[in-house]
């Protein structure tokens, strides 16, 4: 059998390992746009803050990959899937055939139209490349602003807070600041940030960002406030990364629609992790289960089912992304 997995995160790597355990002879290819794709995304902030280096970021080691005889194709991006031909088309116009396909492309930061014009001036933390750029810039920054909210904004503030010489301002609003049903209350997060002397500016929407001198920016809010900084970080919401299925016959909604066995409407194509909108047999609806714990669990199940098993995914609330660290989220400061 020839298995192809798009995505090298927790779900894709776990699926590959599980496929090999159930099919010792099958050919397994993982496709990743990253050059070094084995890192765990939740520790990117720790890398920026200098708490870990790249040697401690891998979900699986390259020696394990080699031992399992898994082939990783790096630096390639899938631009289209042709289910009728069991074929992938890459952005460089090359292609690859498959017998079983798993889409494990995760999620990506969605930049709204109002902020697209500032995209070249803002740093968004999503990949190791992003983390390297932010870390390098942090060494020559005295002042920084973080725009947005949620877990990603808090992690950005934390990693920069480690660099004690950086004066931090947090531009946020009541709607995006914190997830309403998070086990940690928004009041608790506010108390922490105030204790750490981080300047929270409520309801300060950004209307302009001016490059002052090639090293500093001027951030102007809709209320006329002005912040001169060396670095701007943006924490937008993350959405399923499913652009590659546009124009195909694979059904989508908010994510790629899959049944409880993680199979799409195409019998030999599966999806799992943050990109998958999984049918919940208990709730009777399709839902996205963000988070690395959930993604890893889904990857294992997808790998089993791609090799002939018939297992069902049962979502667990505690495995959602917003509970990635639980109470440890604040203790990490």
Flag whether pLDDT at 322 surpasses 50: no
Q: Residue 203: count other Cβ atoms within 10 Å of its Cβ.
A: 13
Q: Which residue, among 279, 275, 299, has the nearest Cα to 287 in the 3D structure?
A: 279
The yes-or-no answer to whether 2-108+239-323 and 111-236 have a common fold is yes
Q: By percentage, how much of the chain surpasses pLDDT 70?
A: 97
Distance from C-alpha of 50 to C-alpha of 123, rounded to nearest angstrom: 18
pLDDT at 327: 60
328: confidence class by pLDDT, cuts 50, 70, 90: confident
What is the chain's mean pLDDT, rounded? 92
Distance from C-alpha of 167 to C-alpha of 228, rounded to nearest angstrom: 11
3-state helix, strand, coil in the chain (%, to 5): 30, 30, 40
CB 236 within 8 A of CB 146: no
Q: What is the mean pLDDT of the segment spanning 287-292?
A: 81
126-157 pLDDT, tens digit per residue, is 999 999 999 999 999 999 999 999 989 999 99
Given the structure tokens 């894709």, which residue do they identify?
12
Flag whether pLDDT at 124 surpasses 70: yes
40: confidence class by pLDDT, cuts 50, 70, 90: confident
317 SS3 class: helix
Which helix H or strand E contains 198, and what residues bound it? none
CATH 3.50.50.60 is held by the domain 111-236: yes
Given the structure tokens 């750029």, which residue do they identify?
133
Q: What is the mean pLDDT of the segment spanning 47-66?
A: 90
Cα of first residue to Cα of last residue in the chain, in angstroms, is 47
Flag whether pLDDT at 294 surpasses 90: no
- Give the start-to-end residue ranges of the domains of the chain: 2-108+239-323, 111-236
Class in CATH terms, 2-108+239-323: alpha beta
Helices and strands in the chain: count of H runs, count of E runs:
9, 20
Given the structure tokens 């992690």, which residue do they identify?
155
Distance from C-alpha of 123 to C-alpha of 131, rounded to nearest angstrom: 9
Flag whether pLDDT at 192 surpasses 70: yes
């Amino acid at each position: 059998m020839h298995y192809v997995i798009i995505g090298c995160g927790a779900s894709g790597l776990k699926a590959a390992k599980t496929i090999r355990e159930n099919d010792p002879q099958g050919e397994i290819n993982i496709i990743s746009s990253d050059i070094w794709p084995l890192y765990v995304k939740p520790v990117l902030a720790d890398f920026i803050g200098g708490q870990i280096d790249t040697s401690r970021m891998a979900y699986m080691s390259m020696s394990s990959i080699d031992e399992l005889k898994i082939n990783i194709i790096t630096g390639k991006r899938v631009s289209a899937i042709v289910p009728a031909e069991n074929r992938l088309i890459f952005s460089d116009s090359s292609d690859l055939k498959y017998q079983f396909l798993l889409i494990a492309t995760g999620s990506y930061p969605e930049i709204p139209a109002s902020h697209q014009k500032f995209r070249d001036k803002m740093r968004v933390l999503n990949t190791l490349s992003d983390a390297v750029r932010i870390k390098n810039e942090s060494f020559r920054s005295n002042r920084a602003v973080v725009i947005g909210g949620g877990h990603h904004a808090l992690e950005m503030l934390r990693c920069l807070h480690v660099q004690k010489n950086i004066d931090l301002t947090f531009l946020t609003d009541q709607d995006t600041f914190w997830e309403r049903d998070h086990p940690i209350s928004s009041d608790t997060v506010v108390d922490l940030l105030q204790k750490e002397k981080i300047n929270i500016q409520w309801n300060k929407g950004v209307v302009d960002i001016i490059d002052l001198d090639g090293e500093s920016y001027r951030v102007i809010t809709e209320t006329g406030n002005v912040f001169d900084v060396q670095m701007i970080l943006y924490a937008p919401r993350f959405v399923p990364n499913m652009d590659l299925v546009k124009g195909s016959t694979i059904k989508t909604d908010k994510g790629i629609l899959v049944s409880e066995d993680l199979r799409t409407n195409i019998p030999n194509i599966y999806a799992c992790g943050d990109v998958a909108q999984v049918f919940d047999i208990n709730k009777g609806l399709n839902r996205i289960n963000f988070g690395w714990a959930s993604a890893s669990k889904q990857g294992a199940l997808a790998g089993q089912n791609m090799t002939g098993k018939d297992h069902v995914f049962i979502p667990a609330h505690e495995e959602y992304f917003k509970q990635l660290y639980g109470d440890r989220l604040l203790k990490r400061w």
